[in-house]
Amino acid sequence: MKTRYRSIIYDFDGVILDTVTAKVDAFAHVYRDEEPAKIAAIRAYAEANGGMSRCEKFRYFEGSVFHRPLSEARLGELCTQYRAAVEAAVASARFIDGALEGITRLHGIAAQHVVSAAPEDELRSALAERGICNRFKSIGGAPKSKLSEFRRILGEDAVEAGEVLAIGDSLMEYHAAVDLGIPFLAIVAPGVPDRFPDGVQREGNLLNLVSLINGQG
């Protein structure tokens, strides 16, 4: 089958699995004993910076919200607490509408990749538990950057930027795609703030994924 795009790059949270709210809740849980106003600031920042790694977020919280030094040992403790808080939520999370069907139908038709700010081992585990790890040619996560992973995929798939579709729900992957000239599809769920510039193609889910890849959307 000839398709409009030869390669697809998916973000994970909010694109494949409905885990965005659970991961914001996990940051609030880690800081549950702090002042309510500071917890609210943590929630707001986490919601606005979905494509940023947890380590970067904790550095921001400790430095800009709490104004205290952060050792590598303390950073490790915070990340461990956060991971424990999200594991159960990720394990029980539902697929974004259309994601499982689209990924399954496109297997063997387009090269599919996952690039996320979540740690790579967590991504592989979550996808393996759902039996779809083998649907993806590659899975890239923290500490790798989205820009470097997007560039790697262009080279490894031997494709032009216009032959790739990047799909994400945050500005981090949007900017990585724009930097390389890769077409971008924004996933903006109902009730979620839309932070994307005018002119960016948007969908609320992946129900139209196959049509888009076939050049019908």
The structure's pTM equals 0.91
Domain carrying residue 181:
7-19+94-213
Whether residues 107 and 11 share a domain: the answer is yes
Whether residues 142 and 180 share a domain: the answer is yes
Q: Please check whether residue 1 lies inside any domain of the structure.
A: no
CB 185 within 8 A of CB 166: yes
Whether residues 129 and 29 share a domain: the answer is no
Whether residues 27 and 44 share a domain: the answer is yes
Whether residues 52 and 107 share a domain: the answer is no
Quick one: average pLDDT of 168-184? 97
Whether residues 98 and 62 share a domain: the answer is no
Whether residues 87 and 105 share a domain: the answer is no
pLDDT digits (tens, 9 = 90+) for 198-210: 999 999 999 999 9
Whether residues 115 and 35 share a domain: the answer is no
Whether residues 55 and 12 share a domain: the answer is no
Dihedral sign, CA of 133, 83, 141, 176? positive
pLDDT digits (tens, 9 = 90+) for 180-199: 999 999 999 988 889 999 99
Among 172, 167, 175, smallest CA distance to 202 is for 167
* Confidence class for position 217, pLDDT limits 50, 70, 90: low
pLDDT value of position 192 = 86
Q: Please check whether residue 2 lies inside any domain of the structure.
A: no
Distance CA 9, CA 14 (A): 14
Whether residues 12 and 45 share a domain: the answer is no
